[in-house]
């Protein structure tokens, strides 16, 4: 686990904690590490879970698939980020989304009951951990609001403009990379891939943007 301490220290969940404090907390939280091959489910719809996941390596997509197989990507989880926290609290309902390893991934699982219960031996930084957890939840709510902003646009072009504009602002440059391939971007925006690709080509031909794979430049 020592190899992952730099990632954990950069994680928002452990923000403000020193490495030796994180090691103590991992013991307190009954942390366990698991590996998942590309495409493997980490959590499934209907699962009842009691541990929150923290990604150490790879990429995880939180996604939902309807009865007809239509896929929607809700969140992308990167190393240092947590997932499953909305369903790990005591008496929570079953999972309504899948958590899928997009790449070969390694995740750390923390007993959520121990996260919420301040222990007497490490109360100083356990309290900080709880504060950090609320900050993580607030950050995820903002990301969800941003996604809803893209989804509320009426046309595929408007959804693309909304999403790409946000990515440009976040990168601080008109040229930037997005974390999705074409199918993943279509799933994230809940649009048809072919229609989206056609719209991107139209926007390119109109001089609105240029692109090469997942690299975009807005004009």
CATH code (residue 62): 2.60.120.10
pTM beyond 0.85: the answer is no
Residue 104 has pLDDT above 90, yes or no: yes
Residue 36 has pLDDT above 90, yes or no: yes
Residue 117 has pLDDT above 90, yes or no: no
Q: What is the mean pLDDT of the chain?
A: 91
Lowest-confidence range among 64-78, 112-126, 180-194?
A: 112-126
d(CA 5, CA 176): 29
- Report the pLDDT averaged over residues 3-13: 93
- Report the pLDDT averaged over residues 72-99: 90
Report CA torsion sign: 147, 210, 181, 173. negative
Q: Please give, one letter per residue, the 3-state secondary structure of 42-98.
A: EECCCCCCCEEEEEEECCEEEEEECCCCCEEEEEEECCCCEECHHHHCCCCCCCCCE
Could you tell me the pLDDT band of residue 86, with boundaries at 50, 70 and 90? confident
Same structural domain, 54 and 132: yes
Same structural domain, 33 and 55: yes
- Report the pLDDT averaged over residues 133-141: 89
CATH number of the structural domain spanning residue 192: 1.10.10.10
Could you tell me the pLDDT band of residue 119, with boundaries at 50, 70 and 90? low
d(CA 101, CA 60): 5
Same structural domain, 138 and 165: no
pLDDT on residue 34 = 97
Residue 158 has pLDDT above 90, yes or no: yes
Same structural domain, 111 and 187: no
Edge-to-edge strands, sheet with 60-65: 41-43, 98-101, 60-65, 71-77
d(CA 20, CA 129): 14
Report CA torsion sign: 150, 152, 153, 156. positive
Interacting residues of 88 by C-beta distance below 8 A, sequence separation 6+: 49, 50, 51, 52, 112
Query: At residue 106, what are phi and psi to the nearest 5 degrees?
Result: -130, 130
**Chain position carrying tokens 């056609």:** 198
Q: 121 by DSSP, 3-state: which?
A: coil
d(CA 38, CA 5): 24
pLDDT on residue 116 = 76
Same structural domain, 54 and 14: yes
Print the domain residue range for 197.
153-218
d(CA 119, CA 156): 50
Same structural domain, 78 and 180: no
Could you tell me the pLDDT band of residue 123, with boundaries at 50, 70 and 90? low
Our CA angle for 104, 110, 111, nearest 5°, is 140
Could you tell me the pLDDT band of residue 2, with boundaries at 50, 70 and 90? confident
- Report the pLDDT averaged over residues 183-211: 95
- Report the pLDDT averaged over residues 92-121: 87
């Amino acid at each position: 686990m020592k190899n992952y301490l730099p990632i954990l220290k950069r994680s928002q969940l452990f923000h403000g904690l020193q490495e030796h404090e994180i090691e103590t907390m991992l013991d307190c939280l009954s942390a366990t590490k698991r590996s998942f091959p590309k495409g493997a489910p980490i959590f499934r719809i209907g699962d009842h879970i009691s541990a929150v996941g923290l990604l150490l390596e790879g990429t995880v997509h939180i996604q939902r698939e309807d009865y007809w197989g239509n896929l929607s990507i809700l969140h992308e989880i990167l190393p240092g980020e947590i997932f499953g926290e909305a369903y790990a609290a005591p008496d929570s309902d079953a999972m309504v989304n899948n958590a899928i390893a997009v790449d070969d991934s390694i995740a750390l699982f923390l007993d959520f009951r121990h996260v919420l219960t301040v222990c007497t031996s490490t109360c100083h930084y356990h309290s900080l951990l709880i504060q950090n957890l609320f900050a993580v939840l607030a950050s995820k709510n903002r990301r969800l609001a941003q996604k809803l902003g893209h989804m509320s646009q009426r046309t595929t072009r408007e959804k693309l403009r909304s999403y790409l504009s946000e990515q440009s602002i976040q990168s601080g440059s008109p040229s930037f990379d997005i974390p999705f391939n074409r199918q993943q971007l279509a799933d994230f925006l809940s649009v048809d891939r072919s229609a989206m690709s056609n719209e991107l080509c139209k926007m390119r031909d109109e001089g609105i943007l240029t692109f090469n794979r997942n690299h975009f430049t807005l004009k």
